[in-house]
Amino acid sequence: MAIMKFMEIWVFFKKIEMTFYLQRCENIKQLINFHSRYKLVIRVFSIGISRKLGRILAIYNNNFFETYQNYKNLVYKAFSLNPKYNQKIDAYFHLYGMVKESLNKDQRKELLDLIVNFRSSEIYDKLINDKFLDYLIYVNDEYKRNLISGFCLLYALPQP
């Protein structure tokens, strides 16, 4: 029960944060950066919408206003749905796959144990988020760092 309450709080703040940054996108590069940072968060609401958002950006036709409106409408549609607990677990496993090469055996085991315990409703996801953020110093790939921090931080600033 307490884990579900925490997830509701996480969802509320993520929606505010993402709306704030989405409304500040003024060109396609900023919109792509937004998508790169938050696509796993959107995936927690709807895998289908997350894929559609990627397609909208992939077929960009030099009409930023139209692309932005279509993208924004789908993000808001995703926000109207309830987040799926299993999709959040899936996102953590996805992030784990991104960082595992950068970690030693003990660190990999610790992170994997946290995710498994979260799946069993034994811990809050904040513990996993904090651990991912602790291990960011070992990740050299900027795309991975951006995706991990976008998912794990509530008040992260977007990359310019």
Q: What is the extent of the structural domain holding 102?
A: 85-152
Same domain, 63 and 34: yes
Q: Do 68 and 90 lie in a common domain?
A: no
Between the alpha carbon of residue 153 and those of residues 61, 77, 111, 117, 148, the distances in Å are 32, 22, 17, 20, 8
Q: Which two tokens stand for residue 131?
A: 């651990």
Between 83 and 157, the more confident residue is 83
Q: What is the pTM for the complete model shown? A: 0.78
Radius of gyration from C-alpha coordinates of the chain:
16
Output the pLDDT for position 125: 76
Domain end position, chosen among 24, 44, 79 = 79
Range of lowest pLDDT (7-11, 39-43, 146-150): 7-11
Q: Which residue has the higher pLDDT, 83 or 58?
A: 58
pLDDT per residue as tens digits for the range 88-103: 889 899 999 989 999 9
Question: Are 98 and 61 part of one and the same domain?
Answer: no
- Considering the domain architecture, whether residues 106 and 138 belong to the same structural domain is answered as yes
At 156, is the pLDDT very low, low, confident or very high (cuts 50, 70, 90)? very low
Query: Is residue 57's pLDDT more than 80?
Result: yes
Does a structural domain hold residue 159?
Answer: no
For all residues of the chain together, what is the average pLDDT? 85
Average pLDDT score over residue span 51-78: 95
